[in-house]
Structure 1
Amino acid sequence: MEIIDLSRELFHRAAMHPAHPPFILSVWSDHESKFKVGNTVVSYKEMSIACSDHAGTHVDAPVHFDPRPGALSIDQVPLENFYTEAICLDLSHVPLKHAITAAEMQTALGRSGQEIKPKDTVLMYMATNDRLYGTPRYAYDFPGLALESVHWLADRGIGMFGVEAVSPAPAGELNDLAHQACAERGITHIECMFNLDKVVGRGRFRFAGFPLKIKGGSASPIRAVAIFE
C-alpha cells in the first residue's frame, strides 16, 4: 500500500485566503520548566494554535456557503463522505486566472481514461502550487472552475471536488457563484491541496480526509491522503 500526503504544511502565518484570519502558531512551553512527579523529573513541550476553521488544506461545510436553515456544519456531515474513491484530472496547462469550462473538464476526463462514479471525490491538478505558492499572487491569480464546470461535476453525482488554490473558482464574483452552486447542488470542495502532481495520471485511488469535530464549524482542516492499494 502507498499513501501520498495531499495536505499543505501548517506553520506560523501560513498562506491563507485574505478573507480569513491568519494561522498563528507559537510555543506555549518548551521544556524550560522542570518539575518532579514522585521521584521523576519531567518537562514538556506544547504549542498554541489560533486559526480559522479554513486553515491549510481544509474542506468546506455546507453551512459555509448555504444560508438556508438546516445547512450542515462540519461536525454534522457524515464521515463516509470523507472516505471515498477518487480520480485526479490533469488541468495543469490552463492559464493563470482562467475559468475552466465544462468542455475542458470533459476533455481532461477523456484523457485520463477514467470515469466519474457517484459519490467520487474529483481532484484537479492545475499546477497552482508550482506556479504561485510562496508568492503574494497565490491568493489572487490562481485558475479555477467556471460556474458551468461546478454543475458539470454535480451532474455526474460527485460528493466533493478538490483544488490546490484557496478557492474553487477564480477570485471575485465567480468564486462566490461557485460556492452558491455547491449549495444548490449539494456538493462541497476541498481547498489548498498539495502534491496532486503525484496522483494525476495514476487512475483510481482511495481518498481519505477527515475533518475535526468542530461544533458548528463552517469548515475544518483535514489531513488529506491518497491511498493506492
Structure 2
Amino acid sequence: MQRLVNHPTIEVYPFSTHEEKRVADGYEFSSATMVLHMGDHGGTHVDAPVHFDDRPGARTIEEMPLETFFTEAVCLDLTHNPDRTDITIADLEAAERKAGVTIQPKDTVLLYTGFYKRAAGTEGYITDFPGLTKDSATWLGRKGITAFTVESVSPGRPGRNNFEVHHVCRDLGFTHYEGVVNLDKVVGRGRFRFIAFPLRIRAGTGSPVRAVAWFP
C-alpha cells in the first residue's frame, strides 16, 4: 500500500532464513523470521482519536474499546464520483438508496470509489482521489456511526478538506480507516459484519489492521 511521503517508509525484509542452519546436540534445524519497519499509519490502518485530537484524554489505540473494530456494516457504491472531486451529502444519500440499506447507529460505513484499481502504483494515488468534505463527513457522523472507510491515503481531499474531515471525527466522536480496498467483493451485498482489530500499540496514534467482511 502506498503511503504519504511524510509518513515512515514501509519495509519488510528477512532477518534470518532457512539457509542458516543451527545444530543442537547433533540435531539440525533452521528458522525464518522477518523484520517489519513501518509507522502506526502504514498500509491499511485505523486512526485513533489522539491522531486528530490534541485535547487531554483523547484515546490512544490501545485505549479504544474492541467493539469499535467489530461492527455491523454497509458498503456504499460511489464509483461514479470522478477523481479529484468532493463526495457530497447528495452522493451519500443516493448511494444509500441504491444499496437498499439504511445506515444505522454504530455501523461502519465502507465507501467504495474504485480509486485503488484506477490509481494504485501511480503518483496520483497520493493526490487524485475523491474525498469527503466537512459537510458530508458531518452527515455520516450525525447518524451515530462508529467509523467509515476510504480506499485512499486520507478521508478528505488534500489540504484543508482533509483536516476538516479529521476534526469532524474528533468533534462527533467517530473514526475512520484508510487504505481499505477490495470493496468490489462486498458492495451491493447488503448488511454484513466488519472486523478490523488493531495491534495493541502502547500510546499508538493508529494501527495497521487486517480488514475482514463476515457474511453469515
Q: Same fold (TM over 0.5)?
A: yes
Q: Deviations over 1:200-222 (max 9, x none)?
A: 11100010000000000000000
Match of 2:191 in 1: 204
C-alpha displacement of 1:38:
3.0
Alignment RMSD, CA only? 0.9
My pick for the range that moved more, 168-177 or 60-69, is 168-177
- 1:88-167 matches, cutoff 5 A: 88-167=75-154
1:63 equivalent in structure 2: 50
Q: 1-side partners of 2:22 and 2:122: how far apart? A: 44
**Larger CA deviation: 34-43 vs 125-134:** 34-43
Does 1:188 pair with 2:178?
Answer: no
Corresponding position of 1:177? 164
Distance of 1:17 and 1:147 partners within structure 2: 21
> Which of 20, 34, 39 does residue 52 from structure 1 map onto?
39
Match of 2:66 in 1: 79
d(CA) in 1 for partners of 2:150, 2:87: 12
Aligned-partner SS, 1:131: helix
Aligned partners of 2:103 and 2:26: how far apart in 1? 61
Number of the residue aligned with 1:5: none
Distance 1:29 1:201 in 2: 44
| C-alpha distance in 2 between matches for 1:187 and 1:18 | 26
- 1:147 Cα deviation (Å)? 1.1
Q: Please give the per-residue CA displacement for 1:153-191, whole angstroms capped at 9, x wherever unaligned.
A: 011110000010010011111101111111011110000
- Alpha-carbon distance in 1 for matches of 2:133, 2:58: 24
Please tell me whether residue 28 in structure 1 is matched to residue 5 in structure 2. Answer: no
Listed as ranges, the gaps of 5+ residues in structure 2 are: none
Residue aligned with 1:176, SS: helix
Q: Distance in 1 between matches of 2:11 and 2:118?
A: 25
1:170 alignment partner, SS class: coil
Structure 1 residue runs of 5 or longer lacking an equivalent are 1-13
Aligned-pair identity (%): 49
Q: What is the CA distance between 1:149 and its match in structure 2?
A: 0.8
Contact 2:141 2:168 in 1 (8 A): no
What is the aligned length? Answer: 216
Q: In 2, Cα distance between the equivalents of 1:61 and 1:112? A: 29
